[in-house]
Amino acid sequence: MTFGGTTTAESTSTIFTDGFEECFANWITGGAFCSGTFYEGAQSAKMDNTEYVYTSLSTVGYTSITIKYVVRTSNLEAGDRFVAEWYDGSSWNNIETISSGFATWTLKKFILPAGADNNADFRLQFRVDTVAGNPAYVDAVEVIGSSGGTPDLDPPTPYPMTFATAPYSTGSSSIEMVATTASDASGVEYYFTAIDGGNDSGWQNSTTYEDTGLLPDTQYSYIVTAGDKSANLNNTAGSSAASATTDVQGVAIDSANADLSVAGTVSGN
């Protein structure tokens, strides 16, 4: 099945990657600091007030520049902003702005406009502007580019995506599910979306996802989507929704000291 063109594996390369394990060895920073709150490894970049971090690198020889990172925000209020942006040699360009709320670690992927291609003056920056000093964290930053070959225009298969194992309860506060293993020449990632009150997985390599921190005796529904790792970020359509109900919360009984009801009669003492 072909969607939009002929598919051959793209020649993609990681131009830059950093999880802040050496703090800001590869970054210029304005007030930010390394934090023990992290997505992977041992630390991340933490920014609050008007702090920032940026890195300079060359994308010469590469096209279809893709940015991946993981972000976590904490209680952003009205007027607060987390901003990711890139520099084209003369001006900064927005990648995304998060302006409110609290978010758990979430993997982000963006393909940049053509101005990011073959650019010797490329920069990537993360910054915050927060009134009350509420922080944002960034981890697992990656810059990817294509260096030739026919672009991958096809999403993974199966299309639409399906569950190999539908969601099922693993306790009073957790539900697990397994996606069908998808295929794509550029590699595959999976995203489990909670559609009625659970927690999204974010993009992940594993086909298995366990949603935790749920309410007991409550039904939750999910869909799963697969996306390829090409510079074009082709995604499947989501699966049909599937549901599961968490277990009833157990109640412990102190049987050693409790009065127990019995049937029959008792004679004597």
Q: Write out pLDDT tens, residues 5-22.
A: 334 455 788 999 999 999
In the three-class reduction of DSSP (H, G, I as helix; E, B as strand; rest coil), residue 114 is classed as: helix
Q: 239: number of CA atoms within 13 Å, CB side?
A: 31
CA atoms within 13 A on the CB side of 120: 0
Distance CA 225, CA 149 (A): 26
Q: For residues 255 and 247, give the distance between their C-alpha atoms in angstroms, rounded to a whole number.
A: 23
Helix, strand, or coil (residue 266): coil
The CB density around residue 11, as the number of other CB atoms within 10 Å, is 12
pLDDT of residue 9: 52
pLDDT of 150 > 80? The answer is: no
pLDDT tens digit sequence for 176-220: 999 999 999 888 999 999 999 999 998 999 999 999 999 999 999
Secondary structure class of 196 (helix, strand, coil): coil
- Average pLDDT of 48-63? 93
Q: Is 57 helix (H, G, I), strand (E, B) or coil?
A: strand
Token code pair at residue 217: 């005796």
Q: What radius of gyration, in Å, describes the C-alpha atoms of the chain?
A: 24
- Tell me how far apart the alpha carbons of residues 87 and 218 are, in angstroms, rounded to a whole number: 47
| Tokens coding 160 | 């639409």
The answer to whether the peptide bond before residue 158 is cis (omega within 30 degrees of 0) is: yes
Is the pTM value of this prediction over 0.85? no
Other C-beta atoms closer than 10 Å to the C-beta of 82 total: 26
The span from the CA of 130 to the CA of 111, in Å, is: 27
Nearest-angstrom CA–CA distance, 134 and 137: 10
CA angle 214, 255, 218 (to 5 degrees): 15
Alpha helix (H) residue ranges in 152-249: none
Backbone angles phi and psi of 115, in degrees to 5: -65, -20
Stretch among 77-81, 108-112, 181-185, 190-194 having the lowest mean pLDDT: 77-81
Comparing CA positions, the residue from 233, 184, 190, 188 lying closest to residue 9 is: 184
**Confidence bin at 2 (pLDDT 50/70/90):** very low
